[in-house]
Amino acid sequence: MADKLIIFDTTLRDGEQSPGASMTKDEKIRIAKQLERMKVDVIEAGFAAASPGDFESIKAIASIIKDSTICSLSRANDHDIARAAEALQAAERKRIHTFIATSPLHMEKKLRMTPDQVLEQAIQAVRYARNFTDDIEFSPEDGSRSDMDFLCRVLEAVIKEGATTINFADTVGYAVPELYGNMLKSLRERIPNSDKVVWSVHCHNDLGMAVANSLAGVMIGGARQIECTINGLGERAGNTALEEIVMAVRTRKDYFDLQLGIDISQIVPASKLVSQITGFAVQPNKAVVGANAFAHASGIHQDGILKARDTYEIMRAEDVGWSANKLVLGKLSGRNAFKQRLEELGIALESETEVNAAFARFKELADRKSDIFDEDILALVSDEEHAHNNDAFHYVSLSQRSETGELPYAKVVFTSDGKEVTCEGNGNGPVDAIVNAIDSKVQSGAELLLFSVNAITTGTQSQGEVTMRLSRAGRIVNGVGADPDIVVASAKAYLSALNKLQSKTEKLNPQI
Ligand code: KIV
Ligand code: ZN
């Protein structure tokens, strides 16, 4: 019988460390439900001690999710571990993931601790975590740049103390597949009690090798858990992409010969959900989940596909959940059909009032756009959720004028703490004009780091989804807005980003 490969998703923790990707509790719950639907084995729901928001999100996810193990990260100290345990209390299956840096550079320069002190702290942390659960993961941070003799000492000691998973972290994406796999192999061979634990890989993508390193960790090193994120989300160049790992192991079962519990039909819906919530667009040529991943443009390929599909296709788009542009609802669809589609998409609005509000927005959209797709519904619900939290600013309306040879002009109406505000502005283009108009009242002092527009579906009728990334005083946030009119979508995205900058509940800095 083939070994099981455990899929540990850290989109909600390491993925969230991407600048601007921080998510609200409701958004995290939606993603956690999708991960459960996809049958992910372990969901790292956050880092309980990082902020009250993180704590509350983990607590909510722990009480809602039944089929996946819920995990919280914690530094190797009693306070963090106790917070993690408290947040995880309601979980049917819980894991505490504790870590401490083991590389000479991190120990000396960051922790200012001697190796013996780090060893002692690692032992104490695992011992303390055992008071709360038997499922304990230990990560030597910057493991791939650590001294092998020292790693052996630390890992043998924490296994003796009761750690059940050892996660060999390539924190800065420095590893090279063969070397990384061999390091792990050597650790397993040298540590006398290595057979008592599951070995795990956790790779960052700084050199574009996170997936290759993870798979080498499995094949050469004998790891049986991979830590990954949807769309490879994560700080800097991101983490190992879940969809690539799962499809590689499945498509090349002849080579990997491992069992996976994942429902692959949920991969594309998960990718779209994460991209839409975080505002991190998926590049078109991204493996498995990119818009072009299954598009054959050249004549030779098209001819081959028509004759025999497997001439140029190693996976089937529909198997991973591409049901592109499936027409789901239209102008004449009723409230029940809408509610049923929400349920099918795994969206549980809390009250009938919320369903009514979302349905009213759906009707508005259906008046402007005849065909409504799943992606439109996801965007609409997201807008609705934004409208429900305690945001300062809400978009009301705008008018805009641009003509060749004239400076574009915009008039925007929005509410600020419930009061209607009207503002006007000019700019280099229509989007610049609306940003200047809003800023003439809000004076945000923020710098715009990124502006991107993506069509949610295909065709010129598609809604545009705009992401605006703002930075102020070292804090980076992403705002997302969707509308068939991309200038309106831009105004919504800008106001959404300003709301996040203002929010006191958002984490100041999700980095560890
Ligand atoms: O990259 C890293 O080292 C981490 C650890 C906390 C596992 O994310
Ligand atoms: Zn990491």
pLDDT category at 388 given cuts 50, 70, 90 is low
507 near 51, Cβ under 8 Å? yes
60 near 72, Cβ under 8 Å? no
Q: Whose C-alpha lies nearest to ligand 1, atom 8?
A: 14
**Average pLDDT of the chain, as a whole number:** 92
What is the 8-class DSSP label of residue 145?
G
pLDDT digits (tens, 9 = 90+) for 245-297: 999 999 999 999 999 999 999 999 999 999 989 989 899 899 999 988 988 76
DSSP for 251-288, please give it.
Answer: HTHHHH-EE----GGGHHHHHHHHHHHH--PPPTT-TT
* Rounded average pLDDT over 473-490: 91
Question: Angle at the Cα of 383 (from 30 to 87), degrees rounded to 5?
Answer: 30
What is the 8-class DSSP label of residue 185?
H
Measured CA to CA, the distance from residue 43 to residue 36 in angstroms comes to 8
Instruction: Please state the three-class secondary structure of 26-42 as a single string.
Output: HHHHHHHHHHHHCCCCE
Element (H, E) at 71: strand 69-75
- Identify the residue whose tokens are 């590389």: 103
Q: Whose C-alpha lies nearest to ligand 1, atom 1?
A: 171
Ligand 1 centre distance from Cα of residue 292 (Å): 31
Ligand 1 centre distance from Cα of residue 263 (Å): 26
Measured CA to CA, the distance from residue 129 to residue 96 in angstroms comes to 7
Measured CA to CA, the distance from residue 163 to residue 152 in angstroms comes to 14
pLDDT of residue 511: 43
pLDDT of residue 377: 86
Measured CA to CA, the distance from residue 347 to residue 30 in angstroms comes to 7
Measured CA to CA, the distance from residue 447 to residue 374 in angstroms comes to 33
pLDDT of residue 398: 97
Q: What is the position in ligand 1's atom list of the atom closest to the CA of 169?
A: 3
Q: Quick check: CB of 469 below 6 Å from ligand 1?
A: no
Comparing CA positions, the residue from 168, 244, 234, 253 lying closest to residue 211 is 244
* Rounded average pLDDT over 13-41: 93
Q: Whose C-alpha lies nearest to ligand 1, atom 5?
A: 141
Measured CA to CA, the distance from residue 223 to residue 5 in angstroms comes to 8
- Residue 88: pLDDT above 60? yes
Q: Which of 13, 80, 103, 141 to mutate to test the pocket of ligand 1 (most atoms within 8 A of CB)?
A: 141
Ligand 1 centre distance from Cα of residue 81 (Å): 16
Ligand 2 centre distance from Cα of residue 432 (Å): 36
362 near 331, Cβ under 8 Å? no
Q: Which residues pair with 198 in a beta bridge?
A: 165
**From residue 213, how far is each of 111, 260, 469 by CA, in Å?**
27, 19, 31
pLDDT of residue 381: 81
pLDDT of residue 475: 86
Q: Quick check: CB of 171 below 6 Å from ligand 1?
A: yes
Strand ranges for 273-408 from DSSP E:
327-330, 371-373, 393-401
**From residue 404, how far is each of 109, 401, 428 by CA, in Å?**
57, 10, 12
Comparing CA positions, the residue from 76, 97, 138, 81 lying closest to residue 12 is 97
Q: Quick check: CB of 44 below 6 Å from ligand 1?
A: no
Q: Which of 171, 200, 214, 512 to mutate to test the pocket of ligand 1 (most atoms within 8 A of CB)?
A: 171
Ligand 1 centre distance from Cα of residue 11 (Å): 12
pLDDT of residue 285: 93
To the nearest whole percent, how much of the chain has pLDDT over 90?
A: 72
- Residue 323: pLDDT above 80? no
The better pLDDT of the pair 362, 383 is held by 362
pLDDT category at 508 given cuts 50, 70, 90 is very low
Contacts of 443 (CB under 8 A, 6+ apart): none
Q: What is the residue type of 142?
A: D
* Rounded average pLDDT over 395-416: 95
| Ligand closest to CA 200 | 1
Q: Quick check: CB of 10 below 6 Å from ligand 1?
A: no
- Residue 327: pLDDT above 90? no
Element (H, E) at 411: strand 409-416
- Rounded to the nearest 10°, the torsion over CA 204, 205, 207, 210 is 80
Measured CA to CA, the distance from residue 196 to residue 162 in angstroms comes to 9
Q: Are strands 69-75 and 94-101 parallel, antiparallel or unpaired?
A: parallel
446 near 393, Cβ under 8 Å? no
- Residue 217: pLDDT above 70? yes
Q: Whose C-alpha lies nearest to ligand 1, atom 2?
A: 171
129 near 117, Cβ under 8 Å? no
Ligand 2 centre distance from Cα of residue 239 (Å): 7
Lowest mean pLDDT among 5-19, 94-108, 169-183, 464-478: 464-478
327 phi and psi, to 5 degrees?
-70, 120
256 near 248, Cβ under 8 Å? yes
* Rounded average pLDDT over 418-432: 96
* Rounded average pLDDT over 483-497: 94
Comparing CA positions, the residue from 26, 110, 35 lying closest to residue 69 is 35
pLDDT of residue 24: 87
Element (H, E) at 180: helix 177-190
pLDDT category at 487 given cuts 50, 70, 90 is very high
pLDDT category at 236 given cuts 50, 70, 90 is very high
| Ligand closest to CA 172 | 1
Measured CA to CA, the distance from residue 423 to residue 290 in angstroms comes to 39
Q: What is the position in ligand 1's atom list of the atom closest to the CA of 99?
A: 6
56 near 25, Cβ under 8 Å? yes
Q: Quick check: CB of 169 below 6 Å from ligand 1?
A: yes
pLDDT digits (tens, 9 = 90+) for 109-157: 999 999 999 999 999 999 999 999 999 999 999 999 999 999 999 999 9
Q: What is the position in ligand 1's atom list of the atom closest to the CA of 204?
A: 1
Measured CA to CA, the distance from residue 168 to residue 151 in angstroms comes to 10
Comparing CA positions, the residue from 251, 240, 167 lying closest to residue 209 is 240
- Identify the residue whose tokens are 């190992």: 240
Ligand 2 centre distance from Cα of residue 204 (Å): 6
Q: What is the position in ligand 1's atom list of the atom closest to the CA of 227?
A: 7
Q: What is the position in ligand 1's atom list of the atom closest to the CA of 143?
A: 3
Comparing CA positions, the residue from 149, 47, 22 lying closest to residue 99 is 47
